[in-house]
Structures are given as C-alpha cells and as structure tokens.
C-alpha cells in the first residue's frame, strides 16, 4: 500500500487547516463542528455553476428540515438523487458537502436534493433516519411541483450518509418496492465491528482511529442495543430489498471491508451491484477534488452509474 502523492498533499493541507486534538470527546460539540466547517470551507470555495440552487424546508417529525435542490445547467427531464451527507452523524451540513453535490449534479445531469438532517448527540438514532424518510415522503408528493422526476429516483451519501441511505431504502421498500431505483454509496459503515481493514488502517496514520469511531457511533446511537438495530447495522437488514448500487470504497480506510461486505451480500442476494476501491486514498476522499484527481474520478464514476441506471 502506498498513498497517492496527491492524497499526501491533501493531508498536509488539512493539517494546516485543522485543529489538533487526540481526543474528540474532550472538545465541546460546538468546537468540533466549528473546526470541521472551517476546514471544509476551503474544499468548497470553488463551486460548479448550477442552473438553480433552491433552499427550502420540509415538515419533519421534530422540526422543519432544511433541504437544498441543485438543478444542473441543462435541467430538463432529469432524474432525482436524494443525497445524505457524511460526518459521522455528528458534523456536516449542506455547505460542507456543497461541492460534492454540485459535481454529482453536473456529472450525472440529475437534480440533487441535499438533506440537512439533525445531528447527534442532540438528536440521537433514529431521528436523522426519520427525517430522511420525511423528505422522501415529501418528494413523492411535492417533488413534481418542484420539477423533480420521482419516477427515476436514487438515494446516496458518503460515510454516515451512505449508511443512512441503505437504511432508508430498506425501510422504504418494505412499503413501496422499487420506488428507489439506484443507490450511490461512498465509503459507508454498514455494520462490521471488526475487520482486516480496521486492523490495517484504523489508526492515526490513516486519520481514522477506533477512538474516533467509538465517539461518533456512541454519539449517534446512545443506548448499546441500538448497535444491533438493522437501521444501523444494515448488513443485517433487508439486502434483498436493495436496488442497483454503485459502492465506492477508499483503499486506505478502515471501513473498506464494510463496502466489500455489502457488495458480497448483494451478490449473494442476487442484487445488482458494482464495487470500486480507489487505491491510495483515505476515508472522506471525495471532498478533496480541488487537489485529488481520484475524488473527481469517484464522483464521475458514481454519476455515470446513476445516469446508466436511471436513463
């Protein structure tokens, strides 16, 4: 294993932008989010042009949910991608993932609907999933009024958002089989607790430690029994309910084996899936397309899969 030289440049840039801490749990949650937002601002400074970017809200179970609709420049007769951002269920928002969503819209031609779901620990499992379901229900009813084609619908996300995307799809297809026709998943956590990739890459050298994982999971799930809930441990959920999936993984990521496990489970269940592992890159790599060619490649690959499935 050798890190991509551009990935090394990204690591150096991130180090210059980020605060230094060995213990996330020791920081106030506001400080963690402020540091994350500040670091992500650099990667989102360059914004691909859209025909329209619309901010609105959707009535949810605990509050009005902020939603952002991206329409690419050529926006007639386009499918829809519901996107759930990453950030360990604790950090992240529509702005931290703005460039990712814009590039997916640009590359695929789809309208992208980003969801600013509630964060943990203030709101714990399963409130964020319930909010994503509320936006999905809104799309079914109100989507056409906003020019969104729900007959060609995909859902996707990165990291925590990828986990939630699988959970929401499994829940949706219990009642409405086939509504979601495509999954677009970047380096998600799908339910493995131990794996070879965790042994190899779960340390500070690869910027993702077991202590960090525990902080995020404990913040999100709260009670221990939730760790076995199939809405979190989605590998134990309804794999046979899943549609076609593009599953992207980073080679130097402790969650690499989660992506492989989901792919293999889908193959066993007879579900169409593609797995691509991007060499020499770390978890969260799709954020760094300003400096990292493999980030652009992965976003373009996902967009092509989306376009082919929903054409």
Active site residues: 159, 253, 283
Residue 58's DSSP bridge partners are 65
Q: Is 91:99 a contact under the CB 8 Å cutoff?
A: no
70-102 per-residue burial string, b: 16 or more CB within 10 A, e: under 16? bbbeebeebbbbbbbbbbbbbbbbbebbbbbbb
Peptide bond into 227 cis (omega under 30): no
Residue 199 CB partners (closer than 8 Å, separation 6+): none
Cβ distance 285 to 269 under 8 Å? Answer: no
Residue 237, phi then psi, degrees to nearest 5: -90, -160
Nearest alpha carbon to residue 81 among 172, 134, 137, 148? 148
Which has the closest alpha carbon to 44: 295, 292, 300, 290?
Answer: 290
């Amino acid at each position: 294993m050798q890190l991509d030289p551009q990935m090394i440049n990204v690591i150096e840039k991130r180090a210059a932008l980020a605060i230094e801490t060995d213990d996330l749990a020791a920081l106030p949650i506001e400080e963690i989010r402020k540091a994350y937002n500040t670091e992500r601002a650099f990667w989102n400074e360059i914004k691909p042009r859209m025909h329209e970017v619309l901010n609105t809200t959707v009535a949810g179970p605990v509050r009005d949910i902020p939603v952002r609709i991206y329409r690419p420049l050529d926006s007639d007769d386009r499918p829809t991608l519901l996107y759930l951002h990453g950030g360990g269920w604790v950090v992240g928002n529509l702005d931290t993932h703005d460039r990712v969503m814009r590039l997916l819209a640009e590359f695929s031609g789809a309208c992208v609907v980003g969801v600013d779901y509630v964060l943990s620990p203030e709101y714990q499992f399963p409130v964020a999933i319930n909010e994503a379901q509320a936006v999905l229900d809104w799309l079914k009813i109100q989507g056409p009024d906003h020019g969104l084609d729900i007959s060609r619908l995909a859902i996707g996300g990165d990291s925590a958002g990828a986990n939630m995307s699988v959970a929401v799809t499994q829940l949706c297809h219990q009642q409405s089989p086939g509504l979601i026709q495509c999954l677009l998943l970047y380096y998600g956590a799908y339910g493995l607790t131990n794996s070879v990739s965790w042994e190899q890459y779960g340390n500070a050298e690869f910027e993702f430690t077991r202590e960090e994982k525990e902080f995020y999971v404990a913040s999100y799930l709260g009670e221990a029994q939730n760790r076995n809930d199939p809405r979190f441990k989605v590998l134990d959920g309804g794999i046979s309910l899943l549609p076609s999936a593009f599953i992207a993984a980073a080679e130097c990521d402790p969650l690499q084996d989660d992506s492989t496990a989901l792919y293999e489970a889908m193959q066993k269940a007879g579900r169409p899936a593609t797995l691509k592992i991007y060499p020499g890159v770390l978890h969260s790599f799709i954020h760094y397309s300003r400096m990292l060619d493999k980030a652009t490649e992965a976003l373009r690959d996902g967009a092509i899969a989306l376009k082919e499935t929903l054409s």
